[in-house]
Amino acid sequence: MTIKEMPEVRIAGFSSKGIEWQILYWVGTYEEKFSVRHAVQRRVLRNMHYAGIEIPADRIDFSQTKLKEAIDYDNNNEDLLFIRTLPLFSSLTQSELDWLQQELKRVFFPKGEQAIQAGEQGDSLFIVQEGIFDVAIRDPDGEMVSVGHLIPGTFFGERSLLIDAPRSATVTAEVDSIAYELGREPISVLLHQRPQVMEELSLALAERQLQNSNFMNRATTAQIETEQSSLMSEFIEKIKRVFGFC
């Protein structure tokens, strides 16, 4: 079920510990409410952590030494759980997800560091796991202007990789952030084995091209859907040429 209503964040009140916030969001069915609530809380806590915001509560601080093997095991489990939730990889089998996990490279970006730069040639895409990234493109006057933000679960850098074009945007970490990097070779394997992955990536390319233009401001919903479908078809053909489908 598609949820069209946007989530809302409101100030619920004030206390001695600080501001109390209220998050309102929709779920498709009541059966999903617990899993959705858990996902919302998890992402809020993670982004607060990487933004340097601590939860005001009584705490007992202690230190614990963790073996490297245990750390690696925890990271691998977290990686696998995360990529399972991504619509981009929803068509993959368990064995394919296990393979993909080994192909992903975890990259840490300190606050202010550029993940990709407009004009560069790209050979990989990135999937945001933690934090927030700012997206900036060059306006008609040649100035870089911010056009949006990327949160966990979204990806960037796919345009240059998929259609063999220079990076169209500069993406910068707004807070300490983590992203998975996926290179050309594993992407090629996925595109050839799973057509759904190509469709998801083509849809993302079409949506972003429309968002970065003035077309959406003056077009009707029907016109936007028609243009989006047309762009998707164009991008699919370009991807097939770049990755040797024809």
Interval 166-185: pLDDT, tens: 998 999 999 999 999 999 99
Whole-number Å distance between alpha carbons of 151 and 44: 11
Helix count (H) and strand count (E) of the chain?
Answer: 8, 10
Domain membership of residue 192 (yes or no) is yes
Displacement of CA 111 from its chain's centroid (Å): 17
Confidence of residue 90 (pLDDT cuts 50, 70, 90): confident
In this model, does residue 120 exceed pLDDT 90?
Answer: yes
Q: Are residues 111 and 227 in the same domain?
A: yes
Residue 84 lies in a domain: no
Domain identity same for 127 and 236: yes
231 in any annotated domain: yes
| Tokens 């949006």 -> residue | 148
> Would you say how long the chain is, in residues?
246
CA distance 27 to 2: 9
Tell me, yes or no, whether 125 and 36 share the same domain. Answer: no
Q: Check whether residue 25 and residue 144 sit in a common domain.
A: no
Domain match, 118 and 228 both: yes
For 196-235, how does the pLDDT look when each residue is reduced to its tens digit (9 = 90+)? Answer: 999 999 998 998 888 777 777 788 888 888 998 999 999 9
Q: Does 55 reside within a domain? A: no
Contacts made by residues 95-102, CB under 8 angstroms, sequence distance 24+: 96/193, 96/194, 100/182, 100/186, 100/190, 101/76
Domain assignment present for residue 183? The answer is yes
**Do 17 and 135 have their domain in common?**
no
The CA-based angle 13-29-3, given to 5 degrees, is: 75
- Same domain? For 38 and 117 the reply is no
- Does 18 share its domain with 138? no
| 73-90 mean pLDDT | 76
CA–CA separation, 109 and 131 (whole Å): 9
SS3 132: coil
Do residue 128 and residue 219 come from a single domain?
A: yes
- Whether 153 maps to a domain, the answer reads yes
> Residue 242: what residue type?
V
Q: What is the total count of domains within the chain? A: 2
Owning domain of residue 18:
8-50
The answer to whether residue 206 sits within a structural domain is yes
| DSSP reduced 3-state for 70 | helix
Distance in angstroms (rounded) separating the CA atoms of residues 163 and 185 = 14
CATH code for the domain in which residue 217 is found: 2.60.120.10
Nearest to 180 by CA among 198, 154, 148, 147: 154
Residue 25 has pLDDT above 70, yes or no: yes
* pLDDT digit string, tens, across residues 126-167: 999 999 999 998 888 888 999 889 989 899 999 999 999 999
Phi-psi group of 148: left, alpha or beta (phi > 0 → left; psi -120 to 50 → alpha; rest → beta): left
Whether residues 98 and 150 share a domain: the answer is yes
Q: What residues contact 203, with CB distance under 8 A and at least 6 apart? A: 228, 232
**pLDDT given for residue 69 in this prediction:** 47
Let me know if residue 119 belongs to a domain: yes
Which tokens belong to 244? Answer: 């040797």
| Whether residue 147 sits in one domain with residue 206 | yes
Domain match, 104 and 225 both: yes
Instruction: Sort strands 177-183 and 105-109 into parallel, antiparallel or unpaired.
Output: antiparallel
User: Could you tell me the two tokens for 201?
Assistant: 């990536």
